[in-house]
Every structure is written in C-alpha cells, then in structure tokens.
C-alpha cells in the first residue's frame, strides 16, 4: 500500500469546492444559518487520531513498554488515516467553497457575514484533520519500510 500524497487529496478537495460553490450560488437564500462550530467534530477526530498515532508509534517501533502491535490493528489504523485524510480534503474543499461565496457577499447580505466564522472554523478544523490523519499514517510506518529507506538514500533491495 502506498502512502497518501497531495496528488491524492487535492483533486477531491477541488471537485468538492467547485461543485459546492455552484450549488451554494443557487441555493444560499434557502439554506439555514450555519452553526458556528459545525466543523468542530473534525477537530475532535483529529485530536483522537493524533493521540492514537502517538501511542501506535512507540508500539510499532518497539520503543514503548506496551505489547507489540498486532498487524491487523496497524492496518486498521492505516485505513482510518487514509479515510480521514480524504474526508478532511473533501470537507476543506466544502468549507472553502462556503468561504468563497460568503466573503464577497458579506458586504450586502447579513447572513453571509454571520456565516464567515462558521466557514473559517470548519476550514481550519478540516485542515487539522488532514494533518492528523497524515501523522497517523506516518506513525504506521515500520522502521524497515522501503519508503523510509529510499528517503534516506539507501537501496531497499540490498
């Protein structure tokens, strides 16, 4: 399995941003106001993943005193990290689409001005989730990972 790259996440975020921006342009007047902390669940997930990554890292590298990590647990953590980074990219695109619409409209529309903090908090929380997911993914690398050896300049074959 290869590790997540920006080229995996950027297209998902861009497609979401464009599609949602076009949708918001047509339907903004019919939408309810955004809750200020609508993006906060993404931050909660990011904190959980960061803590989980920190705990896994020591067990994978066998520097902590806990039991060695079962391979299935590492695989599940990696799947969670990959799914969360993709979710974060999609949500970042969504919140940036909202911001792209409400910031220019905030001079004329009071509701748009009120939605700016929600969209900004959501975008920050989504970006933090991406970072935490990529951190969790990097914590799942084993010390003898061929990608790590290539990064250090060693030949993984021998």
pLDDT for 158 = 42
Residue 54 main-chain phi, psi, to 5 deg = -65, -40
Residue 19 main-chain phi, psi, to 5 deg = -60, -45
Q: Is the pLDDT of residue 78 over 70?
A: yes
pLDDT for 3 = 81
Top mean-pLDDT range of 21-30, 38-47, 143-152: 38-47
Closest among 121, 119, 92 to 9, alpha carbons compared: 92
Half-sphere exposure at residue 69, Cβ-oriented, CA atoms within 13 angstroms: 25
Half-sphere exposure at residue 8, Cβ-oriented, CA atoms within 13 angstroms: 13
pLDDT for 145 = 57
CA distances in angstroms from 60 to 67, 135, 148, listed in the order given: 10, 14, 14
Q: Which residue has the higher pLDDT, 23 or 106?
A: 23
Tens digits of residue pLDDT in 88-138 = 999 999 999 999 999 999 888 888 999 999 999 999 999 999 999 999 998
């Amino acid at each position: 399995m290869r590790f997540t790259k920006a080229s995996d996440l950027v297209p998902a975020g861009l497609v979401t941003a464009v599609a949602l921006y076009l949708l918001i342009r047509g339907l903004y007047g019919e939408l309810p106001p955004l809750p200020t902390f609508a993006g906060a669940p993404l931050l909660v997930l990011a904190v959980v993943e960061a803590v989980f990554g920190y705990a896994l890292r020591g067990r994978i590298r066998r520097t902590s005193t806990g039991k060695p990590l079962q391979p299935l647990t590492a695989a599940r953590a990696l799947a969670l990290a990959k799914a969360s980074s993709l979710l974060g990219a999609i949500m970042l695109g969504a919140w940036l689409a909202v911001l792209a619409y409400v910031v220019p409209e905030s001079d004329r529309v009071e509701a748009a001005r009120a939605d700016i903090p929600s969209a900004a908090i959501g975008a920050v929380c989504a970006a933090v989730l991406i970072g935490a997911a990529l951190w969790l993914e990097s914590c799942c690398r084993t010390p003898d990972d061929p990608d790590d050896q290539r990064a250090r300049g060693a030949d993984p074959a021998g």
